């Protein structure tokens, strides 16, 4: 056991497999390389990652094809790596709920993968993805993520967004048919990001992705994988993107991390920034009883050695559970309940025959048009949100 129990207490906030916390191999395996600096940590084998995360209380790991099997591995190397990895999985009971393809690291994808202007590159991207789907399914994955890191442009002179979107649609249609043809139990989750590494990436937000999904041949097989950092980079409220996906039944996966608004993709420890945003996100997922994996797509500060990596991983999961506890405190707080009860009553008492679930009919439209509203009175009354927000803040700050 390389991890000490005093550093990672097994108290009520400690992660447990039932919490369904999962980690990309590329996250804790991140060596700290960045555009300005070399790696600061040694690469770790997938088998080691599985064992360490299992000790911390995680449920499983997720992977890109190349996280597990190097791009240029021989058949022999592939077999050995797979054997070791599967050994670690069966020894620990860890699962692989999600898999994805690396369509961004190799030079061949410098101009895009599915959206490249080179038909040969597009064909290669489909081949690589089919092989990687086979691998994911072999390991038990039921969700397949698509993050199109290179699917974009620096100059709009090279292709139109319509061409990019059409090609991306062709690839999704091809691959959903591949999955159906092979009778795989696999759903796709599309992950948006506005920019980085490309100057601009097609379908830049979760909202764009949702609209795109309904143009596909098999929309029922395709949902979204929103990432905290990717919605916060353009200054959006992450829980609104997640809420829209939940409401549409399209939240198939999630990438949890932390981010300061308006910066490069920081992929920080979950809830290390914007704790209030993280609280409302956890509240949204828990209140909806969302049954998906709580997946972390983040990495430790470059300052850290291996010990710092496990501190980071344990803390990410622990913070989720602490926030879950705060959500319970929010719901149990008598003063918060009172404000919410009054709001509920105000929102559900019908006025002029119009209440929740209103539907058009001609008689109702006629009465409504004739109704004498006192807009002055309606507009004069406040909503008590200053107090509601302060009570929420006090729950979060630990004084309630
Ligand atoms: C990469 C990217 C992430 C994606 C991963 C899946 S790879 O780390 O920054 O946001 O989710 O392809
Ligand atoms: Mn991500
Ligand atoms: Mn990111």
- Note the pLDDT tens digit of each residue in 328-359: 999 999 999 999 999 999 999 999 999 999 99
Question: What's the CA-to-centroid distance between 346 and ligand 2, angstroms?
Answer: 40
The pLDDT value given to residue 2: 57
- Crossing angle for the helix pair 46-56 and 306-332, nearest 10 degrees? 40
The model carries a pTM of: 0.97
Tens of pLDDT along the chain (400 residues) come to 456 678 999 999 999 999 999 999 999 999 999 999 999 999 999 999 999 999 999 999 999 999 999 999 999 999 999 999 999 999 999 999 999 999 999 999 999 999 999 999 999 999 999 999 999 999 999 999 999 999 999 999 999 999 999 999 999 999 999 999 999 999 999 999 999 999 999 999 999 999 999 999 999 999 999 999 999 999 999 999 999 999 999 999 999 999 998 899 999 999 999 999 999 999 999 999 999 999 999 999 999 999 999 999 999 999 999 999 999 999 999 999 999 999 999 999 999 999 999 999 999 999 999 999 999 999 999 999 999 999 999 999 999 9
User: Which ligand 1 atom lies nearest to the CA of residue 191?
Assistant: 11
CA distance 226 to 209: 10
Return residues with CB closer than 5 A to ligand 2 (ion): 227, 255, 297
275 phi and psi angles, rounded to 5 deg: -65, -30
Instruction: Return all residues near 346 (Cβ < 8 A) that are at least 6 apart.
Output: none
Cβ(143)–Cβ(252) below 8 Å: yes
Q: How far apart are CA 193 and CA 381, in angstroms?
A: 41
Length of the chain as a residue count: 400
Q: Where are the domains of the chain?
A: 5-330, 333-397
Q: How far apart are the CA of 147 and the centre of ligand 3, in A? A: 10
User: What are the two backbone dihedrals, phi and then psi, of residue 185, each rounded to the nearest 5 degrees?
Assistant: -90, 85
pLDDT of 262: 86
pLDDT score at 4: 63
Q: Among 134, 165, 179, 146, which residue's Cα sits nearest to residue 253?
A: 146
CB neighbour class for 367 (10 Å; exposed up to 12, middle 13-18, buried from 19): exposed
Ligand 2 centroid vs 191 CA: distance in angstroms? Answer: 7
pLDDT at 66: 98
Q: Which of 67, 255, 267, 274 is catalytic?
A: 67
CA–CA separation, 336 vs 343, rounded Å? 11
Token digits of residue 287: 């209140």
Look at strands 200-201 and 152-153 and give their pairing.
Answer: antiparallel
Going from the Cα of 281 to the center of ligand 2, the distance in angstroms, rounded, reads: 16
Ligand 1 contacts CB of residue 255 (under 6 A):
yes
Pocket of ligand 1 contains residue 151 by CB under 6 Å: no
Does residue 230 have an active-site annotation?
A: no
CATH no. for 5-330: 3.20.20.150
Catalytic-residue membership of 64: yes
């Amino acid at each position: 056991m390389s991890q000490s129990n005093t550093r990672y207490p097994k108290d009520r906030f400690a992660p447990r497999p039932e919490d369904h916390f999962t980690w990309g191999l590329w996250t804790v395996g991140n060596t700290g390389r960045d555009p300005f600096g070399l790696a600061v940590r040694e690469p770790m084998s997938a088998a080691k990652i599985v064992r360490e995360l299992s000790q911390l209380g995680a449920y499983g790991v997720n992977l890109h094809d190349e996280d597990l099997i190097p791009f240029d591995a021989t058949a022999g190397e592939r077999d050995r790596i797979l054997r070791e990895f599967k050994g670690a999985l069966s020894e620990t009971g860890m699962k692989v709920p999600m898999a994805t393809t690396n369509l961004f690291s190799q030079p061949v994808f410098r101009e895009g993968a599915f959206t490249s202007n080179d038909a040969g590159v597009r064909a290669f991207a489909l081949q690589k993805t089919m092989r990687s789907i086979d691998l994911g399914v072999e390991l038990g994955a039921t969700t397949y993520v698509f993050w199109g890191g290179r699917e974009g442009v620096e100059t709009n002179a090279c292709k139109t967004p319509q061409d990019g979107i059409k090609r991306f649609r062709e690839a999704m249609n091809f691959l959903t048919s591949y999955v159906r043809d092979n009778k795989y139990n696999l759903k796709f989750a599309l992950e948006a990001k506005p920019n980085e590494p490309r100057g601009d990436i097609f379908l830049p937000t979760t909202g764009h992705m949702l609209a795109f999904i309904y143009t596909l041949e098999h929309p029922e097989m395709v949902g979204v994988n929103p990432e905290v950092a990717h919605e916060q980079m353009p200054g959006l409220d992450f829980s609104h993107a997640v809420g829209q996906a939940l409401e549409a039944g399209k939240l198939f996966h999630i990438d949890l991390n932390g981010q300061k608004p308006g910066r490069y993709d920081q992929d920080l420890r979950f809830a290390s920034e914007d704790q209030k945003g993280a609280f409302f996100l956890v509240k949204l997922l828990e209140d909806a009883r969302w049954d998906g994996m709580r997946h972390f797509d983040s990495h430790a500060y470059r300052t850290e050695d291996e010990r710092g990596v496990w501190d980071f991983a344990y803390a990410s999961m622990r913070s989720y559970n602490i926030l879950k506890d705060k959500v319970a405190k929010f719901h149990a707080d008598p003063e918060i309940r009172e404000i919410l009860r009054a709001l509920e009553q105000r929102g559900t008492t019908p006025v002029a025959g119009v209440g929740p679930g209103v539907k058009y009919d001609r008689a109702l439209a006629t009465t409504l048009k004739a109704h004498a509203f006192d807009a002055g009175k309606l507009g004069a009354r406040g909503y008590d949100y200053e107090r509601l927000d302060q009570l929420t803040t006090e729950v979060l700050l630990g004084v309630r």
